[in-house]
Structure 1
Amino acid sequence: MIDYVGEAVDKLITIEAKNHGMPHGILQPMYDAARKAAGNKPVTMTAAEGLMKALGKGDVVFIMTGAGYEPTMPKGESDGPPGAASLARILYRGLGAVPVYVNEACHADPIIASSEAAHLMVKPFEQARDRHLGAAIENAPTDQSRIPAWVHEIYAKYKPKAVVAAERLGAGANGIVHSATALPLTGPDAKFQGCIDIGEVVTEANRRGIFSVGIGDHGNELGFGTIYDTVVKTMPKGDQMATVVKTDVVIPAMMSNWGCYGIEACLAYLLKKPQLIHSPEMEKRIVQACLDAGGLEAMYCTTEFMVDGLDGETSMACMQFLSNIVRKNLEPADAGLTH
């Protein structure tokens, strides 16, 4: 049977709308490769099904996000935290999971603000776990040498059953994390300050057989190692900026937020609870909260109501469209017909 919901969602989130200064024609080849890796099935639905299988009530899911650094975006950007918060919200409300945001401290403010705007409070882990009061947050050490021990510690503490990375950058073949334009973010030639490579959180999930999802828009994000050869061929300077870190499912999208929203829509469909999809009005509140907390729009480094160069209203419309896709496919076949 054709997966009409997954097909429609995948098509919507991979619409390419970029200015002439950005790489064009990149999403389709990356999507084709991601779909092939997913057994030729819609990638958003594959991710949603995997998360439903992996997570039950009280299970921890790591949600990683955060991109952008000093001096241009010291607290990160508006792509990533809103999507992470929206996905955390439905995993919490729909599956009873305990979302734990895993990130760098510099990105914490926009993540917390986005989550609270999505009506998902960020609490101490014990409260989130034992009293089902929302999500928790784990900030990485600011010293790269401490990351291996920290990864071991958080797996022992939280015992995650799934890991999702959205707009979270990963290291390339040379061990260096790069921007989408191949500027080094780590290493001796780093062009920005403060980036810590926490991709080992995902590689540890892979070693342990824990279900993982990677979401991104250019191929330098965690998970795109799954389609590494395609990113190298497709992206300018792809051999430099492409990450080698793999996930079980990888989702290329117009922006990482939309990839998260696509999984959210598929989860709502699988749960038969379309009301769990956040509304366009909530989308506005979430993005604005992210911006107000310092998560700048990345294309122009501005506080304007935008994400990745697109008006915020475009993301609001995306949520309306996703909601309609789910609701229409859950309606009885004869709904609205007159005889």
Structure 2
Amino acid sequence: MKTIYYNKFDELDEFNNLNVINAFEKIEEIISLNLENRGMDKIKLEGQLKSCVISLNTSDTVVIVTGFAIKSAKIGETDGPPGALALAYALENLNKKVIIVTDKYSEVFLRDGVKILNLNSEIYIFEENKENEQASEIIKKYRPNHIIGIERPGRSVDNKCYSMNGDDITLFCSNTDLLFIKARDNNIPTSAIGDGGNEVGMGKVRELVSKYVNKGNLICAEVETDNLLIAGVSNWGAYGICAALSIINNDMVMYDEETYEEISNEMLKKGAVDGCSKKNEATVDGLSYEQNLKVFLKLRLLSQMNFKSLVV
């Protein structure tokens, strides 16, 4: 994979005159690229990034839920785990405890990523037929202050999980919805990042997903979260949160381009597939490695700028 040297000077003038509030708006603009491909551009939410980031920033323990299995490949996709690892890295650099919840289809990507990043994050594997007990255990054992899903399938109104094309993938999706339901029952703030309507958290905008997204009435996830970030690629939403955390803490908590490339390469070696093409290739949701990296680097550059105010 060829390293790309991003011409940051193209963005400097655009970023220099921003204050923190405008910077958050710019992050939301960047992560919203590509939404029109699935009709998600019609769904408008305000203040979700700010609310999510403030809650994460004041948390001591955060649970990150990720991993989206591809039925034909019987392994996880390239969207989700990279964003989860980036967020875990950012949170640990802010001295927070992180637990990453996933399933057997994405486990290897996350374990490898934790090693690459030298994280202390614990990996917790959600298993079929043990979900209710495991959800309760996570709440009781770790006492999280925030739970966030990143490209994690959620169950539709018929209690099944679906691919973007409406294929039933329930057998490949341990029911992590229960963790978000128990979080609500225990007054634990929740967030989610999704890009297609079939991810946990999308219950917040169910009517809009049903109206604008292909097969939205069938695939839309039923569980809603307190905060919902809709991104062109779910990884981008996670990178956007990392950029925002860097800004409000005046501390770079995003890893660099070389680390980004190392994680991408390792996932490919372990068989990760693109969720759209279903192929083991260096793309995410049908977008090239170069396109995804450019978004990451643009957000990283934004997170490095000096802003006029740190009041959010």
TM-score (norm: length of structure 2): 0.88
Task: List runs of 5+ in structure 2 lacking aligned partners.
Answer: 1-18
Contact 1:169 1:220 (8 Å CA) reproduced: yes
For 1:308, the equivalent position in structure 2 comes to 285
Runs (4+) of structure 1 exceeding 4 A deviation are: none
1:267-286 CA distance string (max 9 Å, x none): 0001101x322222221112
| Distance of aligned partners of 1:323 and 1:194 in 2 relative to their CA distance in 1, 3 Å threshold | closer
Partner deviation per Cα, 1:4-54 (whole Å, 9 max, x = no partner): 11110000011117xxxxx73623222x1x32xxxxx2x32331112112x
- Indicate the residue corresponding to 2:3 in structure 1: none
What is the aligned partner in structure 2 of residue 127 from structure 1?
none
Partner of 1:204: 182
In structure 2, distance between residues paired with 1:283 and 1:73: 24
Q: Provide the residue aligned with 1:174 in structure 2.
A: 158
Secondary structure, counterpart of 1:313 in structure 2: helix
Q: How does 1:2-151 map to 2 (within 5 A)?
A: 3-16=21-34, 24=37, 26-30=39-43, 32=44, 34-35=45-46, 41=47, 43-53=48-58, 55-56=59-60, 60-70=61-71, 72-94=72-94, 96-117=95-116, 119-121=117-119, 134-143=120-129, 146-151=130-135
Structure 2 CA distance for partners of 1:329 and 1:260, relative to 1, 3 Å: same
CA distance in 1, matches of 2:191, 2:273: 25
Alignment match, 1:224: 202
Are 1:260 and 2:238 an aligned pair?
yes
Q: SS state of the match for residue 137, structure 1? A: strand
- 1:55-88: per-residue Cα shift (whole Å, max 9, x none)? 13xxx21110011244x23220110000000001
Superposed displacement of residue 194, structure 1: 3.0
Note if contact 1:78-1:295 (Cα within 8 Å) is conserved in structure 2: yes
Q: Which of 214, 226, 232 matches 1:236?
A: 214
State how 1:319-338 maps to structure 2 within 5 Å. Answer: 319-330=296-307
The CA distance in 2 between the partners of 1:98 and 1:108, in whole Å, is 19
Residues in 2 aligned to 1:211 and 1:287: alpha-carbon distance in whole angstroms: 30
Q: How many Å separate the matches in 1 of 2:49 and 2:57?
A: 12
One-letter amino acid matched to 1:52: N
Note if contact 2:56-2:62 (Cα within 8 Å) is conserved in structure 1: no
> What is the aligned partner in structure 1 of residue 168 from structure 2?
184
Deviations 1:304-339 (Å, cap 9, x if unpaired)?
A: 22111111122221122112222234389xxxxxxx
Q: Which residue of 2 aligns with 1:165?
A: 149
Report the residue type matching 1:47 in the other structure.
C
- 8 Å CA contact 1:82, 1:115 repeated in 2: no
- Which secondary structure state, in structure 2, belongs to the residue aligned with residue 178 of structure 1? coil
- Percent of residue pairs identical: 24
| Distance (Å, rounded) in 2 between the aligned partners of 1:3 and 1:265 | 13
Gaps of 5+ in 1: 18-22, 36-40, 122-133, 187-192, 333-339
C-alpha change, 1:247 and 1:98, in structure 2 (3 Å) is: same
Kept in 2, the 8 Å contact 1:272–1:330? The answer is: no
Letter in 1 for 2:28: D
CA RMSD of aligned residues (A): 1.9
Are 2:66 and 2:102, in contact at CA under 8 Å, matched by a contact in 1? yes
CA distance in 1, matches of 2:173, 2:69: 8
Moved more, 277-286 or 3-12: 277-286
Which digits, 9 at most, give the CA deviation of each residue in 1:153-198, with x for residues without a partner?
A: 2221111111010010111111111111221122xxxxxx532222
TM-score, length of structure 1 as denominator length: 0.81
Equivalent residue for 2:5?
none
Q: Tell me which residue corresponds to 2:274.
A: 297
* Count of equivalent residues: 291
